[in-house]
């Protein structure tokens, strides 16, 4: 999914987080997709946090009635240095990319696109009912960010866990593993809880974790989290207890991983390591719009999305805080 903005984030200087406290981020609404913009709720990155493990971007959208909103229609656009993870609760999205892959993204299936040194893709919703899901990015470490691009999909089994169910779509949790190995140690899973239900998860002590709540209201280790909020836990936890405090089902995502220590530059749809590298990625993409062959290939089924102008200031590196 294409970012709409051109923010220039600088690392913030703050005290180390309390490892026992829940840090709550309220989503901000962002228009996405040009003239037929759909609204998404963005919780990462935010002013106080750049990454959670390798996760560097969280957009949450829907449920939207496609007949009313027009759904998702994101033209071909480029990516570098990251992986995208598409996870749907409702609806379908048609994915096409410059490696030749055409795939239907559907609920219960992880669809991971590794941008590597460069890829372009489009995303268009195909169903006429509800569209509801999450778009996630993971930053690639320097050791693997120049590798070739690829697309992988896997249907995820649902497992009984406590008073609900768990679907592990990346990494391992509760002895359940995805067949798609993460490029950086991390985990991603959907959980669901019946009314007033509880689920206790054993987690990696050295990982940081976050819960994105899609439906309902929870307590996380006894602290409250409301619908559409993101709750962050610093490393140092062996268990995470999720308790549904409502008389309705609750659902959300658990994301986490080993803290990502490398600095990186993130602008528009690109991740690199310097201002100059991002500028070169932009130049290569703009050249491809005129028919030049480059790392992003050519997708001709829709008019591609031009890159915004580079900001008038030097892009600064981001780190964990």
Evaluate whether 193 touches 251 at the Cβ level (below 8 Å). Answer: yes
User: Does 162 score more than 80 pLDDT?
Assistant: yes
Q: Domain 28-257 adopts which CATH fold?
A: Jelly Rolls (2.60.120)
Q: Using 50, 70 and 90 to split pLDDT, how confident is the model at 39?
A: confident
Q: What is the pLDDT of residue 15?
A: 54
- Cα–Cα distance measured from residue 126 to residue 147, given in angstroms and rounded to the nearest whole number: 31
- E-strand stretches of 45-129: 55-65, 73-79, 82-90, 93-97, 102-105, 109-114, 119-125
Among 32-36, 95-99, 120-124, 137-141, which is the least confidently predicted range?
Answer: 32-36
Residue 155 CB neighbours (<10 A): 10
Q: What is the pLDDT of residues 104-136, one digit of tens each?
A: 999 999 999 999 999 999 999 987 789 999 999
- Which strands, in side-by-side order, build the sheet including 239-244? 198-202, 239-244, 218-220, 223-225
User: Does 19 score more than 80 pLDDT?
Assistant: no
State the average pLDDT over residues 33-60: 87
User: Does 95 score more than 80 pLDDT?
Assistant: yes
Average pLDDT, the chain: 91
Domain ranges within the chain, ordered by starting residue: 28-257
Q: Is the pTM of this model over 0.85?
A: yes
Q: What is the pLDDT of residue 11?
A: 43
């Amino acid at each position: 999914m294409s970012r709409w903005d051109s923010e220039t984030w600088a690392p913030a200087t703050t005290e180390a987080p309390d490892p026992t406290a829940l840090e709550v981020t309220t989503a901000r609404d962002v228009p996405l997709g040009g003239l037929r913009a759909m609204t998404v709720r963005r919780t990462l990155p935010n002013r106080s946090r750049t990454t959670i493990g390798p996760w560097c971007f969280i957009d949450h959208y829907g449920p939207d009635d496609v007949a009313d909103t027009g759904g998702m229609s994101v033209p071909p656009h480029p990516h570098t240095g990251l992986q995208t993870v598409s996870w749907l609760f409702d609806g379908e999205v048609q994915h096409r990319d410059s490696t030749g892959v055409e795939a239907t993204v559907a609920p219960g299936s992880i669809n991971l696109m590794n941008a590597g040194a460069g890829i372009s893709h489009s995303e268009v919703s195909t169903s006429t009912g509800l569209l509801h899901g999450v778009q996630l990015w993971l930053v690639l470490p320097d050791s693997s960010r120049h590798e070739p691009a690829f697309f992988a999909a896997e249907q995820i089994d649902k497992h009984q866990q406590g008073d609900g169910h768990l679907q592990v779509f990346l990494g391992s949790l509760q002895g359940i593993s995805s067949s798609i190995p993460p490029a950086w140690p991390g985990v991603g899973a959907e959980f669901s809880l019946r009314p007033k239900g509880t689920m206790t998860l054993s987690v990696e002590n050295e990982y940081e974790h976050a819960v994105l709540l899609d439906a309902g209201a929870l307590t996380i280790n006894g602290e409250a989290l409301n619908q559409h909020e993101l709750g962050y836990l610093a490393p140092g936890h062996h268990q995470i207890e999720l308790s549904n405090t409502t008389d309705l089902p609750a659902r959300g995502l658990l994301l986490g991983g080993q803290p990502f220590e490398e600095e990186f530059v993130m602008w528009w749809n690109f991740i690199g390591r310097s201002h100059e590298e991002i500028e070169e990625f932009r130049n290569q993409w703009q050249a491809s719009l005129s028919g030049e062959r480059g790392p992003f290939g050519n997708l001709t089924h829709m008019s591609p999305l031009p890159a915004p102008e580079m900001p008038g200031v030097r892009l600064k590196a981001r780190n964990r805080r």
